Amino acid sequence: MRDRRTRDKRARVLSVVDQLVAENEPVTFTGVARAANVSHWLVYAEGVREHIEAARHRQGRAAASGARAGAKEPVGWKLEKQLLQEDNRRLREEVGRLKAAVRRSLGQQLDQFGAADLGTRVDELTAENQRLQAERDDALARVKELTAQLSEVQDDLASARISLRRMIRAENAP
């Protein structure tokens, strides 16, 4: 199935090349790919490329003997150049449209957040920040207080253990 499609595409390319030569139209890789509705890699594939180059060579020899014998550019370059310029123009227009759409979208997003809304939000965040700092300071003071109590309790415990050991020794003494 795939081989048949490949053969059909190659045959279509060769037919287009023969048609362009018969109509005395310039044969270019891009022009052939577009006219045959195939990818660019196919027109450069082995077996197809040689056929296109041969047609271009024949056209070049015919032009050399004809009125365009003094032309510096090979046949088809003007068409290739024109096609590329059209593609570039189309792509530039598309880039311009996309840039404008992005600008409009960003503008709408910025309009949604007015200066008054942003000021209110900043005030809210500032108040929340101050509240959290106060909570942190209270928690640190509580930790300091509990650390002091723990130290005091540990000292009391150590003293009680020492007293208990002395009492046990005194009881066990003869």
The residues, ordered by sequence, that sit 6+ positions from 69 with a Cβ below 8 Å of its Cβ are 63
Q: What is the pLDDT of residues 51-90, one digit of tens each?
A: 888 988 888 777 666 654 445 666 678 888 888 899 999 9
Name the residue among 13, 62, 17 with its Cα closest to residue 41. 13
Provide the terminal-to-terminal Cα distance of the chain, rounded to the nearest Å.
111
Instruction: Name the residue ranges covered by the structural domains of the chain.
Output: 2-104, 114-174
26 and 79 Cβ atoms separated by less than 8 Å: yes
Cα–Cα distance, 107 to 39 (Å, whole number): 40
* Structure tokens that stand for 129 in this block: 């920040």
pLDDT truncated to tens, each residue of the chain (174 aa)? 778 888 888 889 889 888 888 888 888 888 888 888 988 888 888 888 898 889 888 887 776 666 544 456 666 788 888 888 999 999 999 999 999 999 999 888 777 766 667 778 888 999 999 999 999 999 999 999 999 999 999 999 999 999 999 999 999 887
**What are the C-alpha distances in Å from 170 to residues 95, 160, 163, 167?**
98, 15, 11, 5
Q: Residue 96 is inside which H or E element, if any?
A: helix 77-112
Give 137's Cβ-side CA count (13 Å radius): 6
The pTM for the full model equals 0.38
